[in-house]
Chain A
C-alpha cells in the first residue's frame, strides 16, 4: 500500500470488471492473470468474485482491482452493481460459441451507455486453445495441448476484430488454459487507461476524502477536470 513511498514508480489502482456469457472463461482468465494457474472445473461465480493483481508498466504500476462477475443471464441485473465506477472492462466471449459474441456485444452496448464515460473496454475471445491457430500464436510451447480436437473455432478473428474496431475496443484472442495472450490483455488495458484518470492507491488524497469519499475518488474519473489534478499529485 505504501508502494508510492518506496517505489520510484507511481502506483495507481484501476477497477476492472469482467463481463460475458456463462462459462466463457472469465474467472479462468483472472485466475491465469492473478495466479498463473488454471482449473479445469472452476466453480461458477456466484454474484462476483474480487481479486487484485499488479501490472508493471515502464512508467508506472497499475494495481488492478478485478471484479469477476457471474455470467448467467439472470445475473445480468446485478452487473451494474459491479461495473459501477469501473475504469476498465474485459468483455469475454468464447471463440467456439457464436452466441457468446452476441452477448458480448450486448455488454459492450450496456457499458457504453451505462458505465463511467471513458471506460476502457477490451473484447476478448477466449479458449483459443480449442482452435487450430493455437499453435500459430507466438511463443506457445503449451499451445500444442489444445490441438487435440481439431478446430472448434466458430467466431472468425476478422468478424470480432472488425466489430472491435468499429466500437473502438481493444481486441485479443486468448487462452486462459495455455496462458496465451492473457497478460497482454491486461497490459494493454493498463496502457490504455488515460493518465488523467488514474488516482494514486491509498495516496494522501484518500485521507482528505470525506463524506462519500470513495465516490469522490472514483466519480472524479468520469470528468477529467479534477481528477487530472489529483492524478498529478503522485
Chain B
C-alpha cells in the first residue's frame, strides 16, 4: 500500500517553491486581498493568533529511517524533504510546498482519494513543533560548511519517564525522535535563525511540563504506551468510548486503520511531535479510526495548539460563569435534547451534560457568536470522538478560522458561502445551473444545511465524519468540493426535477444510499466494491481539484458586499419595524436615515479606534528589538468590525458617539474651535463618570472624529443624552435615539417641545426649575442658537430672510434690516433670563420682597382671574384663541396690580408678557403697562424656582423664542438630509454676543441707578455679574465666546465682520437700526417685543435696582457700546412715539 514513497519524495523535492495560498479568512476584510504574512503563516500551520513568523529559511528536512520497522530498502535511506523552516515565538514549523503530492493516487482503488491539496492547512509534508516539545537541538558539523541542526523531541517521553533517565536508556523499545535539518541560507541568516531558536527554546523550557500534560490527554499516547503501562486508563476519546462509535467497526475496518496509524505514529511522532509525511494524508483520506479521530481532528485543525496555549481555559470558563444565565444559555437548553437524538450518548444524561457544558462555555468566551442552532449538532458530533475540552477548542477553531461567520449573529458567513457555492455551480455545471434557474429552484435551500452543519445532518453519520476528516486538514474548500460532487453525481436526476420538492427528494434518496455500490452492475469486482460515498470523494477531490482556497477566497470577496447589503437591508427593515410606538411619530424616511446614521457612526468609530490602536501599536513596536520589528505586522489586517452585516459588535452608542451623531444632524452640535484641545482638557474633566466613553484612550495621532466635524461639548448635550438614556445605562440603543428624537421632532407641537425642554432641566422631576436651571436653560438657548436659527422663524415680512446660515454672514445681510433674527434672538434670550427671574416663584414666601408677588403669581394653583376677566382688561389684546392664551393672560394679568403695589417706588409699569400669536400671523398688540419690580427675584439670596407654566409663559412671551420652540429647534435636527457639507469650524460664523459687538468694552459693571446711563456701554458680562452671581456661568460662556471671536478677529478673517468690528460709524447705525430705528422691522414684526423692551428700559430708568434688566435690554437691542445713552433713549423714544 505504501510502496511508492520514493516517488513522493522526489516529487516533493522537485516541486517548485510556491507562495502560500491565502487561506480562509478569519474575517473578510480588504486586506484579504493582500493577506498579511502572519495570517498566512498562522493559517498554513494552523497556529494561534499569538504566533508571528519571526524567521524563515529554506531548509532540507531529513528523517532517519525507522529502526523499528524492518521495511523496504528505500526506507533505509530515510526521507528528505526540501521546504522552508519557520520560527515563531513558540513554534518551529517546517513545510514542503503545498503541492507536494500531485498526481499521486490512482482512482481505481478504494483507498485512493489522495488528490491535490492546494492551499493552506497542514497539507504539505513537514511538522509543527511547539518549542516546548523539543528536548534538544544540536548543531552538527556538516561537510558542506552548511548549518545543520539535529532536533530531538520529547516524543514518547512522558513526565514520569523523563524523571527517570536511566530507565529511559534501559528501555530497548524506546527510540528517540531525532530529525536533522540542513539550513540553506547565508551564514548570517542561519546564525540569526539559530539565535532566535535559542531564545525561543529558552523561553519554552518553562512550558515543557504543560506540554506534557496536554499531550497526555491524547489517545495516541495511550495507544503507544510502553509495555509497563498497559493498565493505564485510556484518555477521554469521546462519548464513543462509552456508547460505542457510530457505524460497524468491521465494515469501517477500524482495526486495520488503527494498526496503520499506530505504525505511522510510531515512526513519525505523535500529537505535538508528529511529522506529516504523504502517508499521513493518505491515512486521513481513507477515514480515521474511531479512537484517534478526535485527536487527529484536533491536530489538523490546529485546535490542539489553542489548547496547548491555554489548557485550563475550558475548565476556568465553566467555573467563572457557573450559575450565570444568558440568552444563549436559554437557546442552548432548548436544543440539548434535540442534538443527534438518535445517538445513544445523547439520550443519556452524561452526553447531554457534556454538550451543555461545551456549548455554554463557548457562548461565554465568544459572546458575539453566542449560540447558533447547528452548533449543537456539530458539537454533538465532535463529542462522540473527543473530550469536552478538545471539542471546546475545536469549536473555537471552527468559528474563528474554518467556517468564519457561519454561526455569527447574522450568519453572514453562511450566506456568503451559499453565494460562492452558487457561483461555483454556475461555473462548473452550467447546464444544471440553467435548469435550476429555469425551474426556480433555490439551490441554497438544499445546500445551506450542508454547509452549516458540515454535512452532519445530511449524510449518514459515518460518511459525514469522513468528510470532516478531510475538512479539518484541508479547510473549507472541502465543503464546496463535496457539495459540487453531490450535484455532479446526481446531475441527471436533478435535471428531471422541476421544483424544490423533487429536487430535495432526489438528494435525500441519494444520501440514504451512500453505502451502496457505485457500480453495482460492473463486471469488475474491484469497481463493484466502490460504494457511492467513495465515488463521491473521488469526484470531489479529483474533478473539483481546481477548487482551491484562493479561488474560494476570491469569490468570497466578490460576493461579500452584496451579501452584507442584503443582510443589512433585512436587519434595517426589521429593526425599524420594531422600534416601538414612538417611532410612528417619525416618517419612514426619517427612521431609515436614523438607522443608517446610528450604525454608520458606531461603525466608523470602531474603524477609527482600530486604526488608532494599530497606530499606537506600531509606535510601541518601534521601541522593540530589531528582530521583531522586521516582522511586526501582526495587527496589520484590519478586522472589520461593527458592520451590521457582520453582526455588529456593538449596537450601543456611548456619549461621545452621541455627540458625533448630533454633530452629523445639527449644526449647533458642531464644535466651535476647529481643533480644540480644550475639549480634552476642560470638558473631559468636568464630565461625570456617567459620561464614560468606550474609547477613553484617544491618541493625538489621528483625529478621533474622523472626517466629520468635531462635535461640540455642552451641558445641554449631556442632558439630552441622559434624558434619552431611559434605562440609565450610559449608552443609547437605536430605540433610545428614535424615541428621543421622536419626542422632539415627532410631535410638531410647540407646547410639547417647551415641556420637553423644561423637563430636561427639571432634574428631580418636581415640576420646578431653580435659578441654576434657569441659567442653564439660557445657556442652552445660547448654545443652540449660536450658529443661527433655522426653520420657519417668523410670520412677519422682515424675517423673510431669516435663514440661519445666511444670517450669520454679515456680508449677505440685507441693508435695511439691522439685526438679523439670530442677533435678535440673543436679545430674546436675555429677555428670557430676565423674565424667568421676574416671574419665578420664590422658594420662601416670607421673603421680604417677594411676599406679595408670591401670593399672586407663586403657586401654579393659585386662583387667577378667569380668562374672560383678563380678556376684558384693556391692557391686553388677545392675538388669537390659542389654547394657552387664556392661561397666559390669566397668569399675566393679575400680578400686575399686585406687583405695582408691591414696589411702589417703581414709577413705570413693565410690560406684561405679550402673548405672541402662535405663528398665525395675527396682528399682535401687547400691553406695555408693566412694572419691572419682579427683578427682586434676581437677588441670589432668594431661592426661587420656575414652574412649567411660567416657563411656557416666558417662552410664549417672545415671538422668537416661541418660534424657536415651535420650529427652529425641531428643524435644527436634520435627520434625513444631514448637514450640508459646509464647515462650521470658524467661530466667526457664530452668532454670539461678542460677534455682534456686544460688551467689547470694559467689563466694568456699573451699578447703574440711572436709566439712561444704564443701558449701553456696559458689557453684558458685567451686567450679568451684577444681576446674580449665579449668572457667572452665563457670563463665562459669553466671555468665552467673546475671546474666541476676538482671537478670530485679530486674525482678521471675515470681511463682513470687519464692518461690524471696525467701523464704529456703521456699528452705530446698525445699532440704531436694530434698536428700533428700522421702521419696517418695527411695524411688521409684532411690536410686542419691542414694547416690552421699551418698557423694560422705562422700568430701568425708574428704578436703579433694575439696572440688570436694562443691560440685558442692551443686548436685546444689539448693544450700543458707542453711544449708550442715545440708544437707550432712542429705544424709549421709539416705543413711546
Contacts and interface: CB of A to CB of B under 8 A. Distances in A.
B411 A77 contact: yes
B554 interface: no
Given A22-B331, A72-B372, A214-B440, A77 B501 contact: no
B571 interface: yes
Interface string B334-359: 11011111000000000000000000
A211 interface: yes
Interface stretch (B235-243, B373-381, B792-800, B1097-1105): B373-381
A47 B577 contact: no
B148 interface: no
Contact of A50 (B500, B566, B574): B500
B578 interface: yes
Contacts of B498: 202, 206
Nearest to B336: A41
Interface stretch (B444-452, B613-621, B758-766): B444-452
A110 B577 contact: yes
A23 B448 contact: no
Interface string B479-518: 0000000000000000000111100100000000000000
A47 B410 contact: no
A213 B437 CA distance: 8
Given A42-B338, A77-B570, A215-B440, A47 B448 contact: yes
A106 B578 contact: yes
Interface string A100-132: 000000100110011000000000000000000
A50 B452 contact: no
A215 B499 CA distance: 11
Contact of B411 (A78, A80, A109): A78
Contact of B339 (A43, A72, A218): A43
B622 interface: no
A135 interface: no
A48 interface: yes
A46 B440 contact: no
B442 A81 contact: yes
B422 to A, nearest CB: 12
A120 to B, nearest CB: 19
A44 B574 contact: no
B561 to A, nearest CB: 16
Nearest to A202: B498
Given A44-B338, A50-B504, A218 B440 contact: yes
Contact of B445 (A47, A76, A77, A85): A47
A150 B498 CA distance: 49
A22 B377 contact: no
B856 interface: no
A46 B452 contact: yes
Interface string A25-47: 00000000000000011111111
Contacts of A76: 570, 574
A18 interface: no
B457 interface: yes
Contact of A43 (B409, B437, B439, B457): B457
Contacts of A80: 570
B441 interface: yes
Given A74-B411, A77-B415, A82-B445, A43 B504 contact: no
Given A214-B438, A218-B440, A110 B453 contact: no
Interface in B207-230: none
Contacts of B339: 43
B440 A41 contact: no
Contacts of B441: 214
A214 B499 contact: yes
Contacts of A45: 373
Nearest to A217: B440
Nearest to A65: B501
Contacts of B187: none
A160 interface: no
Interface string B366-401: 000000111011000000000000000000000000
Interface string A50-82: 101000000000000100001011111110111
B573 interface: yes
A41 B337 contact: yes
Contacts of B445: 47-48, 50, 81-82
B371 to A, nearest CB: 8
A75 B374 CA distance: 11
Contacts of A85: 440
B573 A114 contact: yes
A45 B537 CA distance: 27
Nearest to A72: B373
Given A22-B331, A50-B500, A50-B504, A75 B411 contact: yes
A47 B451 CA distance: 10
Contacts of A40: 337
Nearest to B407: A74
A212 B441 CA distance: 10
B573 A43 contact: no
A111 B51 CA distance: 49
Contacts of A65: 499-501
A106 B411 CA distance: 20
A74 B410 contact: yes
Nearest to A114: B573
Given A77-B411, A78-B411, A212-B440, A44 B501 contact: no
Nearest to B452: A46
Nearest to A63: B501
A212 to B, nearest CB: 6
Interface string B681-722: 000000000000000000000000000000000000000000
A46 B570 contact: no
A189 B1099 CA distance: 80
Given A41-B338, A110-B577, A214 B448 contact: no
A232 B571 CA distance: 40
A50 B824 CA distance: 71
A85 B439 CA distance: 13
B499 A44 contact: no
A110 B499 CA distance: 25
Contacts of B335: 23, 44
Interface string A194-234: 00000000100010001111110110000000000000000
Nearest to A66: B501
Contacts of B440: 85, 212-215, 217-218
B1091 interface: no
Interface string B417-456: 0000000000000000000011111101100110011000
A22 B373 contact: yes
A109 B576 CA distance: 11
A81 B570 CA distance: 12
B435 to A, nearest CB: 10
B956 interface: no
B567 interface: yes
B567 A77 contact: yes
Given A22-B373, A44-B373, A72-B372, A212 B438 contact: yes
A47 B452 contact: yes
Nearest to B456: A46
Interface of A: 22-23, 40-48, 50, 52, 65, 70, 72-78, 80-82, 84-85, 106, 109-110, 113-114, 202, 206, 210-215, 217-218
Interface of B: 331, 334-335, 337-341, 372-374, 376-377, 408-411, 414-415, 437-442, 444-445, 448-449, 452-453, 457, 498-501, 504, 566-567, 570-571, 573-574, 577-578
16 contacts: A22-B334, A22-B373, A40-B337, A43-B341, A44-B334, A44-B373, A46-B448, A46-B453, A70-B373, A77-B567, A77-B571, A81-B444, A84-B442, A114-B573, A212-B440, A214-B440
Given A47-B449, A78-B448, 11 more contacts: A43-B339, A46-B449, A74-B372, A77-B410, A78-B411, A81-B444, A81-B445, A106-B578, A110-B573, A202-B498, A213-B439
Closest 10 CB pairs of A and B: A214-B440, A47-B448, A41-B337, A23-B334, A46-B449, A47-B449, A44-B373, A41-B338, A72-B373, A43-B338
